[in-house]
A and B are shown apart, each in its own frame.
Chain A
Amino acid sequence: MKKSFVFTVAAALALALNLQAADITGTITFKGTAPAEKELTPIKEDPNCAALYPGALPKTKFYIVGANGELADVVVALKGVAAKSTGASAEPATLDQKGALYVPQIIAIQTGQKLVVKNSDALVHNVHAQPTANPESNQVQMPNGADLTYTFDKPEMFLKFKCDVHPWMFAWVSVFDHPYFAVSGTDGKFTIKNVPAGKYTLEATHRKLGVQTAEIEVTDSGAVQNLTFAPK
């Protein structure tokens, strides 16, 4: 009887706390003219890769800007938040190698969260993770080979993945020690889910355009924060 009472109170408390958690949403925009992207001309030097692109070659994707300035690939996260990583129980994130390119190029995960690296190409790749805070690794992945799985114990921004066989291939993985982060989509929008009510510093980082911060307050109904980047 006593046991079930404690359980009921705990469940009610957990529900109440959860009710106080809400989403932070917003749109990231870019104001100005982004530097021109360059064609990945080294692809032409590898016949197998060149065959994948009989028409125009793909270009660098450093500034993915929509018609109305919507800016993609911005990593948005709460700064200095007192929360623990839930990475061990989180769904694995996926990084694919497709058309001799990493897809997506910018991704964010938690410490302890699995990152599955796939090879959808009929090409050999080497998956070379070059962290600054976590251990480096360099592994072979044969054409359509078995997935490789990574986890990182320490947080770091823009941990670089590269392929030395195809030196134009890069992806950058940001690792957080909490679950409160998101990456803006091609519509510039982002959503950080289930943030407990309170005051926070929101930090948005674009690999080329730097960092924007905003002081925000999350209430029961959440918070909305838009941010604008400009050329440096």
Chain B
Amino acid sequence: MNHKYQPALFWFAVLNAVATFLLIGLGGLVTSHEAGMSVPDWPTTYGYNMFFFPLDKWVGGIFYEHSHRLLASAVGFLTTILAVWLWLKDPRKWLSWLGVAAFLLVILQGVLGGLRVRWQLDWLGVPHGAIAQAFLVLTCAIALFTSRWWKNSATEKQVPVRAALRGHVLAVTLVIFAQLIIAATMRHQHAGLAIWDFPLAHGRVWPVTTPEAIAGYNAHRPANTIGNPVTAFQINLQMLHRLVAVALFLGVAAAGFIARKRLGGADWLTKFAWFWFVLLTLQVFLGAATIWSNKAADVATGHVMVGALSLLVGALWWLVAVRRTRLAA
């Protein structure tokens, strides 16, 4: 359907996407600082209406959790406006429904966060973290669909992207999403680092996970101020996270090489693929730094944010590739 580029709508969608990305960072800080339960009530904050919670009480873990709730409310508000705006002003019905989907997802996400507090269920943090990533992709996709490029691309000559390359990028992106779920599961064990050396793991290529070995690890954990003991499950989960990271690093590198071969080095999708590879390289370094810093909150949060960006770049690359291919047909 023919539509008109609306700069105000586009920039509002970008604002929503940026706020969502920052919200993921703040959520990462909440978990990194083990502050998820520092405000025991919801939707109130220590009995106050959350918007009138006194500033002098924003201390310790409360600062992170309360800021996260306020920014989440702001994102919910922005998403609601965006959904209404799309519904009223954009002629593309599918995009209007995408706005509705974003609205429903942000409500679900807020309720999930609240229930995690009210029901005191650590594991609810895992779907909360995973939905956050999916929501970021959705908000950025809406920004892409409302962009000038999306509008103008329909009238410009497009170079198609082969199905194999599109499929490869989509597969890698889905594996990144799976990797983020593994990461969320690791983080919501609230047990600190299950393995605290890298590139080895408890001094070996593959760590021993016998009950005796686990007891020894727990007795000798460095700087362990985290309450929960390490388990064999957590160690195996981190090893899986490492293996998937290697696969993703190679997968994204392959995407760059294939894109250069098929599309040429000057194509901006090739450049975008190389940017993706740079992000993955940075992400591997941040993963190692998370271990070397004994899971310092800022480093671990940086790892969460670059992980979210990696998912986002893969998803946007794929959407652009699909758009170009359809228009070229």
Interface residues in chain A, defined as those with a beta carbon under 8 Å from any beta carbon in chain B? 35, 38, 40, 42, 46, 48-49, 60, 62, 123-124, 126, 128, 130, 136-140, 160, 162-168, 170, 208-210, 231-232
Q: How far is the CB of B63 from chain A (nearest CB, A)?
A: 9
Determine how close the nearest CB of chain B comes to the CB of A36; give it in whole angstroms. 9
Q: B40 contacts A128, CB within 8 Å?
A: yes
Partner of A167, one of B117, B223, B225: B225
Mask of B280-293 contacts with A, CB within 8 angstroms, 1/0: 00000000000000
Q: Is the CB of A138 within 8 A of B37?
A: yes
A129–B37 alpha-carbon span in the complex (Å): 11
The yes or no answer to B59 lying at the interface (CB within 8 A) is yes
In the bound complex, do residue B59 and residue A167 qualify as a contact, i.e. CB atoms below 8 Å apart?
A: no
**Nearest CB on B from A165, distance (A):** 4
CB distance B219 to A168 under 8 Å?
Answer: no
The dominant DSSP class at the A interface is loop
Q: How far is the CA of A38 from the CA of B33 in the complex (A)?
A: 17
A-B contact list, 29 entries, CB within 8 Å:
A35-B219, A38-B225, A40-B225, A42-B225, A46-B59, A46-B60, A62-B224, A123-B59, A124-B57, A126-B38, A126-B40, A136-B120, A137-B120, A138-B117, A140-B40, A140-B47, A160-B227, A162-B227, A163-B38, A164-B34, A164-B35, A165-B60, A167-B33, A167-B34, A208-B218, A208-B219, A209-B219, A210-B219, A232-B219
Compute how far the CA of A163 lies from the CA of B60 in the bound complex, rounded to whole angstroms.
10
Nearest-neighbor residue (CB-CB) of A167 within chain B: B34
Closest beta carbon of chain A to B237's beta carbon, Å? 20
- Is B62 among interface residues, defined by CB-CB distance under 8 A? yes
Contact B61 A138 (CB under 8 A): no
Interface status of B267 (Cβ within 8 A of chain A)? no
Q: 16 new A-B pairs (CB below 8 Å) besides A42-B225, A48-B60, A140-B40?
A: A38-B223, A40-B225, A46-B60, A48-B59, A60-B223, A60-B225, A124-B57, A138-B117, A138-B120, A139-B40, A140-B46, A164-B37, A165-B62, A166-B60, A167-B60, A232-B216
List 5 A-B pairs, minimum CB-CB distance, nearest first. A164-B38, A167-B34, A232-B219, A165-B60, A138-B40
On chain A, the residues within 8 Å of B218 by CB distance are 208
Complex Cα–Cα for A42 and B60 (A): 9
Do the beta carbons of B223 and A49 come within 8 Å of each other?
no
Known: A136-B120, A160-B227, A164-B34. A38 touches B59 (CB 8 A): no
Which parts of B19-40 form the interface with A (CB within 8 Å)? 33-40
Min CB distance, A224 to chain B, in Å?
A: 27
Total A-B contacts with CB atoms under 8 angstroms apart? 80
Asked whether B225 lies within 8 Å of A35 as measured between CB atoms, the reply is no
Interface string of B187-216 (1 = CB under 8 A from A): 000000000000000000000000000011
Which residues of B are found within 8 Å of A42, using beta-carbon distances? 33, 225
B187 to chain A, nearest CB (A): 14
Q: Contact check, A165 vs B35: say whether CB atoms are below 8 A apart.
A: yes
Q: Which listed residue, A38, A123, A126, A168, touches B37 by the CB 8 Å rule?
A: A126
Q: What distance in Å separates the Cβ of B182 from its nearest Cβ neighbour in chain A?
A: 23
Closest CB in chain B relative to A152 CB, distance in Å: 16
Contact across chains for A167 and B61 when beta carbons are under 8 A apart: yes
Q: Please tell me if the beta carbons of A232 and B215 are within 8 angstroms of each other in the complex.
A: yes
- Does residue B156 face the partner (Cβ distance < 8 Å to A)? no
The yes or no answer to B3 lying at the interface (CB within 8 A) is no
Cβ–Cβ < 8 Å partners of A231 in chain B: 219-220
Q: Which residue of A lies closest to B46 (CB)?
A: A140
Once the chains are docked, how many angstroms separate the CA of A166 from the CA of B62? 9
Identify which of A126, A130, A170, A210 gathers the most chain B CB atoms within 10 Å of its CB: A126
Tell me the smallest distance from the CB of A60 to a CB of chain B, in Å: 6
Q: Which of A48, A138, A231 has the most CB of B within 10 A?
A: A138
Q: Please, how many angstroms separate the alpha-carbon atoms of A38 and B37 in the complex?
A: 24
Nearest CB of B to A42, in Å: 7
- Is the CB–CB distance between B35 and A60 below 8 Å? no
Residue of A nearest to B120 (CB): A136
A170 to B41, CA, bound (A): 21
Least CB distance, B252 to chain A, in whole angstroms? 34
State which of B47, B117, B220, B227 has its C-beta within 8 Å of the C-beta of A35.
B220
Q: How near does chain A come to B226, taking the closest CB pair, in angstroms?
A: 8
Cα–Cα, bound, A136→B117 (Å): 12
Q: Is the CB of A128 within 8 A of B216?
A: no
The residues of A that contact B57 with a CB separation of less than 8 Å are: 124
Contacts of B219 in A (CB 8 A): 35, 208-210, 231-232
